Structure 1
Amino acid sequence: MALRETTYTIPDGEDAGKVFVITRMPAMQADKWARHLVKALTRAGMALPPDAMEIGLSGLGGMAQAMFGQLEDEAADKALDALMATVKIQRDPANPGSRGQIIDADLEDPETLPRLQAEAFRMHLGFFKAAAYLISPLVQMLVPQAASDKPQPAV
């Protein structure tokens, strides 16, 4: 089965019209990325709001900047680098075969990189949510009410 992909076209600014393809990580890799992110957030003292796990994927996606801002530089770089490895530029929008690694010269607008990071994060939010539930001691710290109100999965 092919990995899920999404195409993202920069809507405005200096990079308007540039096309990027984001491919979801394989499940085991995405799970590992998500578990490491949940642990790094906990070490950084990040506490998600008690209703965070109920607000859904779009709500969690909106929290991405705040979450990454709480991380130590090394942990944030590692998590964002893993996400950006899933993003390719399609140099010729009409030719899917023209995909390649993003290089510095591909990005002119300062808004493009954060947009791509946010889109890649949204693509992997389900794994983040699953990791938070699976790491039950961390869930109790991250989401105290949700952890006490919901039955925990057997480990």
Structure 2
Amino acid sequence: MARKTKDITIESGRDAGKSFRITEMPILQADKWAQRALFAIARAGVDTSSINMNGGMLEMARLALDVVGKIDPEVGGDLLDELLSCVQIIPTGGVPRSLVMDSDIEDIKTLFVLRKEVLALHIDFLKNGNSPDMS
């Protein structure tokens, strides 16, 4: 089965009208990314016992806000940067290519949107409180 992809177009700001393709990480890369994120959360002392497993994306967003102020900035920065490895720009002509960070993205909001969309693509199985069947 092919990895999931999602095309998005930025609606506002300096990058308005630019289109990007997000492609799911290969499974081992995604698993290692998630492990590093979970270990960083644990090292930061974030209490995860109150997580509502049926809260879906809203609960993940709440957890992310709790974590941001506690995680080691170097580790967190590396994790955020790795999310961007899943993104290609779709220039005029429609052939996706790798991002050139210094010129393809001009608005900080675009970085936030792209990272959020990459994360959403990888955890979409959590929508509506669904969790993967582990049997």
Asked if Structure 1 and Structure 2 have the same fold, meaning a TM-score greater than 0.5 normalized by the shorter chain, the answer is yes
Structure 2: which 5+ residue stretches go unaligned?
none
Structure 2 CA distance for aligned equivalents of residues 23 and 37 of structure 1:
19
Structure 1 CA distance for aligned equivalents of residues 22 and 6 of structure 2:
5
Task: Give the conservation status (yes or no) of the 8 Å contact 1:9–1:20.
Answer: yes
Work out which of the two has the higher radius of gyration on C-alpha atoms and give 1 or 2: 1
1:81 equivalent to 2:81? Answer: yes
Q: Which has the larger helix fraction?
A: 1
The share of aligned pairs that are identical, in percent, is 35
Look up the match of 1:30.
Answer: 30
Task: Give the conservation status (yes or no) of the 8 Å contact 2:51–2:59.
Answer: no
Kindly provide the amino acid, as one letter, of the partner of residue 71 in structure 1: I
Q: CA RMSD in A?
A: 2.6
Flag the 1:58–1:88 CA change in 2: closer, same or farther, 3 A: farther
- Give the 4+ runs in structure 1 shifted more than 6 A: none
Structure 1 CA distance for aligned equivalents of residues 20 and 30 of structure 2:
20
Structure 1: which 5+ residue stretches go unaligned?
134-152
Structure 2 CA distance for aligned equivalents of residues 102 and 127 of structure 1:
30
1:84-117 deviation line (CA, Å, top 9, x unaligned): 111111112x51x242223211122221111111
Look up the match of 2:107.
Answer: 109
